[in-house]
A and B are shown apart, each in its own frame.
Chain A
């Protein structure tokens, strides 16, 4: 494999990693606050459909983005209600909402566009356009780093850079602000927050809202940045992979970046069986490459790579001690 091919794959990897990263950071906020959310998948799907549909109808990708965020927030709100207000089983809520999202997205898309549950292909202002970083042409001449900067880092749509920027932003928010301290506390021991006079419910709902927002970005990116429209079940399990990345990253923002890049890399490899064959020197069937991210997830979960330490109060509804 030559350097140019490597850059190509890495470029693809970064693009594939973006929805994973956004969804992973989304899950980070929820889980750090003590709310399990396996409904990332459904929220992404909802956002993907909503943003593609609205972008197709209005011709503006930004209004589409807004619609995607709103769609995701609606599902986030339901999950928050079920998990926090009604103290329901958070896993079941997530699974249920994923089903609802899978069905409703196709229903709405079919009603709007009659194209078999898809949105019409997007183009022009209804899609995110590549952003070129400054001094691209000048830096390209620099050996090794130049093409990396020019072909891998530059030329992505804006949400990719937003996702990357969200990593240090999340770190700062979690560890350098009052909100972050309280958020982490509420996921470890909600009673500590409650007895200090801070509302557990408000903190958790805020976390859930942030999750909805970030999943909105993830889904919108998929249908208006990564691809050019929405198709049924287009998220194909990315929400779950993002969860695996979160566990792999031990619920830390910077580790989440590397974890999702790794998963994105595997997804990029699946598109280039020729490269895999060239490197490994025997043919690998396409279904095997397709299954790789999921297999890696299982390996991560088997704790074969480090021992995960989740927030202590994760998944438990908070009930005041009598």
Chain B
């Protein structure tokens, strides 16, 4: 048997990749003199065993859903958008400008406006790399990476020179008016019975879930999604079919940038309620891991975002209760990307061998390849 059955490719490969990443992380932990099992226990306890922990896990997962979906949409168009980090930061700027510009009476009014602002700014930040790729063939990987660094510089400038209220020392914007505060899960009737303590997870979780559904509909039920997927697979064929490479590249990247930007309603509007420096904190990059683990599908993104939410909250707990530096989660994140994205052939070969040996134990005829 040469190829894997579809279910194995979709579910087993990410699972095995995750196990491999965990195994290598365990080795790293052992090498620096820590206990992997203790680390795992601290993580599980802190992230999954209490509603309070879940409140944090879900909060992180919300951000990762947005950034993961962003990578997915671009991926389907054949584009590797690594600029989610910068686009998320610009989305934060959009949110801040919206929230600070008017005395919003209620969050049900402020939220749609903020979503629009976040999406617009995120998309705008993706627009230049998108245009450069579509018109000039500039490699989008490097341009988006550069735009991450430029965004960081830009945000510093904006925070220090423009948005910082007079007399304040730290580079941050003013606090958003109370009318923009999003209810956290603790403040939502019904859910407050589960989340009895204040948690950062908030209403934007539901926006993220809606976005997952929306991306699914877009990619597999609309003409635009069809064109994006066709172009991503075979750009030359897309030209034959009359699909505009420029249009697809731009739109896919703009949607991608918008999704990354929308992450800001979770952390900037929902949690910190003002614009801080480096608000996105690496979520843009985790989106890449989430997209790869989730096999480029919104359902997978949802599950992978939960997983990384666990990793993030667990990692924070590790930083609090053990002497393991918080950078461990960057290592795990990188390993997951490595195993699911680059070494996936290796994982497949492993699985094929495993399935083959388990099949040879039964005297069944070897199946033909799929």
Chain A residues within CB distance 8 Å of chain B: 38, 78, 81-83, 85-93, 95-104, 106-108, 110-111, 117, 232, 236-237, 240, 243-244, 247, 285, 287-288, 290-291, 294-295, 297-298, 301-303
Contact = CB atoms under 8 A, between A and B. Distances in A.
Interface stretch (B46-54, B135-143, B259-267, B301-309): B135-143
A38 B142 contact: yes
A96 B338 contact: yes
A86 B132 contact: no
Given A89-B342, A106-B327, A291-B154, A111 B142 contact: no
Given A83-B342, A104-B28, A244 B327 contact: no
Range of interface residues on B (Cβ < 8 Å): 35 or more
Interface stretch (B208-216, B328-336, B352-360): B328-336
6 contacts: A95-B82, A103-B331, A244-B142, A298-B129, A298-B138, A302-B132
Nearest to A42: B334
Q: Which of A82, A107, A111, A232 has the most CB of B within 10 A?
A: A107
Nearest to A310: B139
B224 to A, nearest CB: 25
Interface in B135-159: 136-139, 141-143, 145-147, 149-150, 153-154, 156-157
A100 B343 contact: no
A117 B324 CA distance: 11
B337 interface: yes
Given A96-B335, A107-B331, A294-B146, A88 B137 contact: no
A90 B341 CA distance: 9
Nearest to B348: A86
A117 B150 CA distance: 25
A104 B143 contact: no
B344 A88 contact: yes
A113 B104 CA distance: 50
Contacts of A117: 325, 327
B290 interface: no
Interface string B140-180: 01110111011001101100010000000000000000000
Interface in B283-339: 285, 288, 292, 324-325, 327-335, 337-338
Contacts of A101: 334
A291 B142 contact: no
B146 A103 contact: no
Given A91-B141, A298-B147, 7 more contacts: A95-B141, A102-B327, A291-B153, A298-B128, A298-B129, A301-B142, A302-B138
Contacts of B23: none
Contacts of B137: 303
Contacts of B153: 287-288, 290-291, 294
A100 B334 contact: yes
A99 B342 contact: no
A92 B291 CA distance: 12
Contact of B145 (A83, A240, A247, A291): A240
A86 B138 contact: no
A86 B156 CA distance: 41
B192 to A, nearest CB: 37
A40 B281 CA distance: 23
A103 B330 contact: yes
B33 interface: yes
Contacts of A91: 80, 141
Contacts of A95: 82, 141, 288, 337, 341
Contacts of B292: 92
B343 to A, nearest CB: 5
B32 interface: yes
Nearest to B132: A302
A215 to B, nearest CB: 17
Given A287-B157, A303-B136, A96 B328 contact: no
A89 B132 contact: no
Contact of B28 (A82, A96, A107, A247): A107
A107 B328 contact: yes
- The 6 A-B pairs at the shortest CB distance, nearest first, are namely A99-B334, A103-B330, A100-B334, A93-B342, A103-B331, A92-B341
A240 B341 contact: no
Nearest to B338: A96
B318 to A, nearest CB: 11
Contact of A97 (B132, B139, B141, B334): B334
A236 B288 CA distance: 20
B225 to A, nearest CB: 23
A86 B347 CA distance: 9
B345 A87 contact: yes
A240 B146 contact: yes
B191 interface: no
A295 B285 CA distance: 21
